[in-house]
Amino acid sequence: MHTTLNSLMTVQTRSVCILDYDWLYELHRDVYIEVITRQFGNWDEKEQLNFFQDVWRSHNITVIIIDKEPVGMFQLYQHEDHLWLAEIQIATKYQNNGIGTKVIVDLITKARKIGLPLRLRVLNENHRAQSLYQRLGFRHIKATRHHHLMEVN
């Protein structure tokens, strides 16, 4: 099932709640299993659960909603010199429909309004996400062993 974001649909957000835990772990698995396996050679369920639990414990998760249905999440932190998009995940069945683009464009607008760049990191093997970020104006500013750090002003 694909949902195309059109002018009649709006992207809504809400804060995370305890009932989201299982769904959010399934989202993490859905979004990352292919790229993690491609980059690291396998999916280690215990390690990925630990990564997810670190995100969960932050309590800084915004759930993305389309038509009353949770379709993704993001984490945004404000630092003194930049906004940090620590995570953005859109369920694979909802990808390629403009949802992630709309959320990121809104975050870029927010960053510009407060005069800060928006930064994120993306796994080296996540070429689709890198392409999206580049289309939205992000540029590579640093590479690490596993990630590209990107920024838009």
> Quick one: pLDDT band at residue 35, thresholds 50, 70, 90?
very high
Range of the domain at 109: 11-152
Q: Is the pTM of this model over 0.85?
A: yes
> Quick one: pLDDT band at residue 1, thresholds 50, 70, 90?
very low
Tens of pLDDT, residues 38-92: 999 999 999 999 999 999 998 899 999 999 999 999 999 999 999 999 999 999 9
Of 80, 82, 65, nearest to 150 by C-alpha is: 82
Q: Is 59 within a domain?
A: yes
Q: Is 3 within a domain?
A: no
The arithmetic mean of pLDDT across residues 26-30, rounded, is 97
Range with lowest mean pLDDT among 4-8, 17-21, 50-54, 85-89:
4-8
Q: Residue 63 belongs to a domain with what CATH number?
A: 3.40.630.30
In 1-153, alpha helices (H): 21-40, 45-57, 99-113, 127-135
Number of domains in the chain: 1
Share above pLDDT 90 across residues of the chain, in percent, rounded to a whole number: 92
Q: Is 5 within a domain?
A: no
Cα 51 to Cα 73: distance, rounded to the nearest angstrom: 15
Cβ of 93: how many Cβ atoms within 10 Å?
12
The arithmetic mean of pLDDT across residues 4-17, rounded, is 79
Mean pLDDT score of the chain, rounded to an integer?
94
Element (H, E) at 136: none
- Start-to-end CA span in the chain (Å): 35
* DSSP letter assigned to residue 58: T
Q: Is 2 within a domain?
A: no
